[in-house]
Structure 1
Amino acid sequence: MPLEHPGSRAADDPIKLLAIRETPLCVDEVFRAVGDAAAGGIALFVGTVRNHDGGSDVDALGYSCHPSAEAAMRRIAERITADHPVRALAAIHRVGDLIVGDLAVVVAVSCAHRGEAFTACRQLIDDLKHEVPIWKHQRFSDGTQEWVGSC
């Protein structure tokens, strides 16, 4: 029976980057943060501002967050790294005014194997969307506006 290589297990401190920022996000920063010589797979998700929602044209939007948002991100990251053999994890979310095409969120996870990375990254973005107190204020082309619970 072959011995398990230490790199196939979770890293001791896999949470490399967690932040909420008012400045533009950088995919390369997140990608670099999850680099690990023992990782055979990196899954990265980039959420952008799209030009439509619910059949209406979106001109722009703004994100705002509760002061506890980064702490909520940390709890989620800790849960993901406890549930999956994560080598490294990073997540950044934008707040403030954004326009169509801007990056709203970038998350990435590296693991020894691609399937593990895909699964952990999917859970990370889904949990961030549902649990972190960040709200989206959409402005539509017809002059209407809408607040969306969590993003």
Structure 2
Amino acid sequence: MGNHGVMSENHDPIRLLAIREAPLSLDEVYEAVGDDAAGGTTVFVGTVRDHDGGKSVSALEYSCHPTAEDEMRRIAEKVVADFPVKALAAVHRVGRLEITDKAVIVAVSCAHRGEAFAAARRLIDDLKHEVPIWKHQVFADGEEEWVGAGGC
């Protein structure tokens, strides 16, 4: 039976929202959105790449404003209001990350796959543009760049 039977008893579709320094778990996020009534689950994983804007990236660090989790909740609540979401989860990492590390994971389960894709896309797009999380990149040539909410 796994988590599915238990999860459908939870009436709040927002199952997991977190900003943390520890490595992110794909299994944790996927299991959080398990629901017996869901026919489709969409999971998006944002990873640290080795380049940006044609330049080689050697280091990356994320930091956030103390209100970041509150903003995540506001966005999640809007997605739940706009789409027929059975369950939703989002986690974002802060601190120093290495190339290929998971920086963000979102998952949405709905009755049908089209709804799950649309809701997950809205969730990740709004998180990237509205949550006050900043990315500090150090390039291989020694240059540095800060990218923040609204432009990351």
Counterpart check, 1:133 vs 2:132: yes
Match of 1:149 in 2: 148
Matched to 1:100, the amino acid is: I
Please state how far the C-alpha of 1:128 moved relative to its aligned partner.
0.1
Match of 2:3 in 1: none
Counterpart check, 1:22 vs 2:21: yes
Please state how far the C-alpha of 1:94 moved relative to its aligned partner.
0.1
Per the alignment, in what secondary structure is the counterpart of residue 72 of structure 1? helix
Q: How does 1:1-151 map to 2 (within 5 A)?
A: 12-150=11-149, 151=152
Matched to 1:112, the amino acid is: A
Q: Could you give the per-residue CA deviations for residues 123-149 of structure 1, whole angstroms, max 9, x where no partner exists?
A: 000000000000000011011110012
Q: Could you give the per-residue CA deviations for residues 77-125 of structure 1, whole angstroms, max 9, x where no partner exists?
A: 0000000000000000000000101000000000000000000000000
Larger Rg: 1
Matched to 1:82, the amino acid is: A
Matched to 2:131, the amino acid is: V
Identity %: 72
Gapped regions of structure 1 (runs ≥ 5): 1-10
Per the alignment, in what secondary structure is the counterpart of residue 143 of structure 1? coil
Matched to 2:61, the amino acid is: G
Please state how far the C-alpha of 1:59 moved relative to its aligned partner.
0.9
- Work out the number of aligned pairs and report it: 141
Please state how far the C-alpha of 1:29 moved relative to its aligned partner.
0.2
Matched to 2:92, the amino acid is: H
Distance 2:11 2:36 in 1: 14
Match of 1:6 in 2: none
Please state how far the C-alpha of 1:15 moved relative to its aligned partner.
0.2
Matched to 1:65, the amino acid is: C
Q: TM-score, normalization: structure 1?
A: 0.92
Gapped regions of structure 2 (runs ≥ 5): 1-9
Per the alignment, in what secondary structure is the counterpart of residue 61 of structure 2? strand
